[in-house]
Structures are given as C-alpha cells and as structure tokens.
C-alpha cells in the first residue's frame, strides 16, 4: 500500500564550528580587549585631562556590546562542542559538491555540499561555507559528529 506520495520530512541539522581550548582562550582575550578598551580610554581621559573623552565614549558604546556578544557566543559554542563530544554519534560526511563563491569581492571561499550518514542516523544533506582548504575535493569522506537530539553536527577537517 502506498502512502499517497507523501515525502519524508527533511532533517534539520545545524553545523557547529570546532572551538577548542586554544581557540576559546584567543576569543576570550579579544572579547576582554574589546570590553575594556573604551572604559580604559575614558579613565585615562579623566585622570590625565587628555582629549580622549569623545573617543572613549564612542569606544565604550560600540565595543562593549560587541565584546560581550563575542564572549557570549564563545561560551555557547564551547558548550555545544562539549555536548557533541559527550553525546555525539560518529558519522561520515561525504563531499558531494564544491562551488566557489565571492561574497563581497574581498573574501572568497567554497561552498561544500555534504551528505552526512552514520549508524542509527537518518542521512541528510547540507551545505557548508568556508575558506578554501586543499583537502576539500569531491568524493572525500570527512569524519563528523552528530547530536541526534540537539540537531547539531560538527565536521572534523
């Protein structure tokens, strides 16, 4: 008996960047610099009567939210990576398509078509935009980790 031509519901997965401890330290340091540069400039202007008050206010208003956002994003990515390491299922991501792209003329990269499959995992296809890497070629299989309950995966390159 047929199901009336109903198509299976697509699998929705989100790619997570690998943020290791060394990467996290760098991102936290950048965040701290962004958060502190405006207030430090304001303090310097107040205590030395330098003409940095306007720049200190501008840096504070602009860079503090950016630094806090970067810090928060790093915390979330580290948490997602820890979860993938703890409960992730090993999988294989096969490169099915490679397309060059140039988003703004300066930065260019490659859009990688992937077919991710593994034991106990419903196969799904997705795309991954990243900078060019010489190891990316059609048909290559990359190691992946998939969190079935969280809807996230990570590619190991």
pLDDT in tens, 52-103: 888 889 999 999 999 999 999 999 999 999 999 999 999 999 999 999 887 6
The pTM of this model reads 0.74
CB 81 within 8 A of CB 154: yes
With pLDDT > 70 as the criterion, what percentage of the chain qualifies?
90
**Is 4's pLDDT higher than 70?**
no
Of 2, 150, 14, 6, give the one whose Cα is nearest residue 82.
150
CB 68 within 8 A of CB 35: yes
Of 80, 91, 126, 133, give the one whose Cα is nearest residue 110.
133
Give the distance from CA 31 to its chain's centroid: 16
**Is 22's pLDDT higher than 50?**
yes
């Amino acid at each position: 008996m047929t199901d009336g031509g109903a198509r299976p519901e697509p699998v929705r997965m989100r790619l997570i960047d690998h943020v290791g401890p060394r990467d996290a330290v760098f991102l936290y340091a950048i965040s701290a610099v962004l958060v502190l540069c405006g207030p430090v400039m304001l303090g310097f202007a107040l205590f030395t009567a330098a003409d940095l008050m306007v720049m200190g206010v501008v840096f504070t208003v602009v860079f503090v939210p950016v630094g806090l956002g970067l810090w928060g994003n790093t915390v979330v990515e580290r948490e997602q990576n820890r979860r993938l390491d703890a409960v992730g299922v090993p999988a294989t991501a096969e490169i099915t398509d490679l397309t060059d792209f140039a988003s703004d003329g300066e930065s260019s990269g490659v859009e990688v078509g992937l077919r991710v499959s593994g034991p106990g995992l419903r196969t799904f296809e997705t795309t991954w935009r990243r900078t060019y890497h010489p190891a990316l070629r059609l048909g290559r299989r990359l190691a992946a980790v998939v969190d079935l309950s969280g809807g996230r995966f990570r590619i190991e390159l």
